[in-house]
């Protein structure tokens, strides 16, 4: 009986190929969708509201994460990081903090919606653009 050493899935050739196609698809769709969202919310919307500020921030956070995908794909394909130590640390930091930032933005959007629906009397004083930018 021979034991086959367990390899991480990223090392197998079929997983490398799948990750290349998957990350490429997510990158192309993600850049198109988030650039469109930035264009709509930042340039075509006449009046700024708290929701437009949150949506611009969400599109920026998503776009930052999506722009890191080609570097992750190169790392998975080549099995080493050719971009230097500082950029490795920046990329790892963004990959770790992206879910945290996205969840905080969702929580702020939820709190904003709560104030608009449940507390409409107080929502005008609490839901304005300067307070949204500060949040």
- pLDDT tens for 81-115 read 898 899 989 998 988 899 899 999 899 888 888 88
Rounded to the nearest 10°, the torsion over CA 114, 119, 124, 128 is: -20
Name, of 13-17, 54-58, 113-117, the range with top average pLDDT. 54-58
Name the pLDDT band for 11 (thresholds 50, 70, 90): low
> What are the sequence ranges of the domains in the chain?
12-134
Mark out the alpha helices in the chain (DSSP H runs): 13-38, 50-67, 69-78, 85-117, 120-126, 129-134
Q: Which residue has the higher pLDDT, 63 or 119?
A: 63
User: Residue 50 has what pLDDT?
Assistant: 79
pLDDT in tens, 42-52: 888 777 777 88
Confidence category of residue 6, pLDDT binned at 50, 70, 90: very low
| 8 Å CB contact between 76 and 30 | no
Tokens of 41: 């919310």
1.20.1070.10, 3.40.1160.10, 2.170.130.10, 2.30.42.10: CATH of 12-134: 1.20.1070.10
Percent of the chain's residues with pLDDT above 90: 24
């Amino acid at each position: 009986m021979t034991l086959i050493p367990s390899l991480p899935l990223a090392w197998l050739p079929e997983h490398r190929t799948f990750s290349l196609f998957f990350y490429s698809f997510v990158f192309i769709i993600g850049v198109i969708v988030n650039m469109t969202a930035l264009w709509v919310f930042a340039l075509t919307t006449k009046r700024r509201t708290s929701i437009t500020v949150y949506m611009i921030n969400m599109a920026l956070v998503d776009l930052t994460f999506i722009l890191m995908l080609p570097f992750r794909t190169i790392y998975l394909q080549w099995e080493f990081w050719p971009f230097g130590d500082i950029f490795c640390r920046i990329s790892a930091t963004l990959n770790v903090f992206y879910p945290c930032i996205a969840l905080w933005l969702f929580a702020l959007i939820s709190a904003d919606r709560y104030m608009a629906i449940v507390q409409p009397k107080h929502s005008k004083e609490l839901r304005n653009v300067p307070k949204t930018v500060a949040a």
